[in-house]
Amino acid sequence: MAAKKARKRAKTTKKSRAKPRNSKATKAKKTAKVAKKTPKVEKKKEGLVVKFIRNFVRRMIDSMFAKKKNIKLGIYGPPNAGKTTLANQICKDWLGERMGSVSKIPHETRNVQVKEQVTIKYNDKEMAFNIVDTPGIATKIDYEDFMSYKMKSKQAKDRAKEATKGVIEAIKWLDEVDVCLVVLDSTENPYSQVNVTIIGNLAARDIPVLIVANKIDLRKANIRRVENAFPQYDVVGVSAEKGKNMEEFYESLFRLI
Ligand SMILES: Nc1nc2c(ncn2[C@@H]2O[C@H](COP(=O)(O)OP(=O)(O)O)[C@@H](O)[C@H]2O)c(=O)[nH]1
Ligand SMILES: [Mg+2]
């Protein structure tokens, strides 16, 4: 009997110790939970705002300091005018290294060559260029012409094939260039079909052109004849090989842009 009573007492005590479902304590805890939740949501919101502002500021800074696009400077002209020699001279002046190989045999450059990030300074101005040296434009490419340079028939035929592809590639690149140098051999007749075609094409595309009358170191050079052939363009005489008159060349280049 005493044992029964003791069990009953124990039960009651347990029950009384058990937490009531809707007691004040539970309510308080719930409120605390809600209170805890609110700062979390707020924090999340705050985090998003901070993130947005941070990204916005970063974008602003990026756009402020974004690198200016390099100016694509195309070098066009007939074969052997000295386009690569000029490209080499420019690269030597500003990078201390050459760009491509030069030869007295026409169509030495048979692929478009690009030298990126060539920073040229003139007076207090500075501009970054991508220099695009192109294969010479020709209306006729005959492999037999190469054989007169002691080239074997197979080698001459390959060179002619590559040179023809090169002309097409050079013309395609007209869509890419921003400004253009047309290099002419100032000892030769400037009124050629090739010269007129190149310059006409550039004019039709509204690409600014500077005509470079090259090889002024040679006795036969005639800058005046080039100027008379293309009176609407600025003409600068240089010797790319000897590095003659390059200062005036850079001045004309900066005037063009
Ligand atoms: N005398 C003289 N020869 C030059 C000059 N520039 C280039 N050449 C020569 O002309 C030939 C063709 O030069 P190159 O740069 O390969 O011509 P490209 O086909 O127009 O690229 C080479 O034999 C060069 O040495 C120059 O300013 N003066
Ligand atoms: Mg070349």
DSSP 38-56: HHHHHHHHHHHHHHHHHHH
CA distance 8 to 92: 105
Does 12 map to a domain? no
Distance 101 CA to ligand 1 centre (A): 10
Q: How far is the CA of 185 from the centre of ligand 1 (A)?
A: 8
**Strand positions, DSSP E, 123-163:** 125-133
**Residue 105 reports pLDDT greater than 50:** yes
- From the list 246, 252, 177, the residue with the least C-alpha distance to 214 is 246
Asked if pLDDT for residue 126 goes beyond 90, the answer is yes
**Counting atoms of ligand 1 from 1, which one is nearest the CA of 239?**
27
Range of the domain at 53: 20-65
Q: Is the pLDDT of residue 19 over 80?
A: no
Mean pLDDT on 156-160: 94
| pTM across the whole model | 0.77
In-domain check, residue 104: yes
Question: What is the distance in A from the centroid of ligand 1 to the CA of 178?
Answer: 24
For residue 127, being part of any structural domain is answered with yes
pLDDT in tens, 32-86: 555 555 566 677 777 888 888 888 888 887 766 666 689 999 999 999 999 999 9
3-state helix, strand, coil in the chain (%, to 5): 50, 15, 35
Pull the structure tokens for residue 223: 């800058």
Residues 112 and 236 grouped into a single domain: yes
Based on the fold, state whether residues 89 and 208 are members of the same structural domain.
yes
Average per-residue pLDDT for the chain: 86
Residues with CB under 6 A from ligand 1: 77, 79-85, 102-104, 108-109, 136, 214-215, 217-218, 239-241
Total number of domains in the chain: 2
pLDDT bucket at 164, cuts 50 / 70 / 90: very high
Query: CA separation (Å) from 151 to 92, 111, 160, 164, 170?
Result: 31, 20, 12, 17, 25
Determine the residue of 76, 80, 83, 85 to mutate for testing ligand 1's pocket, defined as the one with the most ligand atoms within 8 A of the Cβ atom: 85
Q: How close is the Cα of 55 to the center of ligand 2, in Å?
A: 47
Confidence at residue 57, expressed as pLDDT on a 0 to 100 scale: 87
Residue 1's pLDDT band, with cuts at 50, 70 and 90, is: very low
Q: 135 and 112 in contact (C-beta within 8 Å)?
A: yes
pLDDT of residue 55: 83
Site to substitute for ligand 1 among 75, 91, 102, most atoms within 8 A of C-beta: 102
User: pLDDT band at 209, cuts 50/70/90?
Assistant: very high
Sign of the dihedral through C-alpha 187, 189, 194, 200: positive
Task: Report residue 150 as tokens.
Answer: 């002691």
| Locus of tokens 């005509």 | 211
In a domain, residue 4? The reply is no
Q: Can you give the pLDDT at residue 68?
A: 65
In b/e form, how buried is each residue of 68-100, taking b as 16+ CB within 10 angstroms? eebbbbbbbbbbbbbbbbbbbbbbeebeeeebb
Q: For the chain, what percent of residues have pLDDT higher than 90?
A: 69
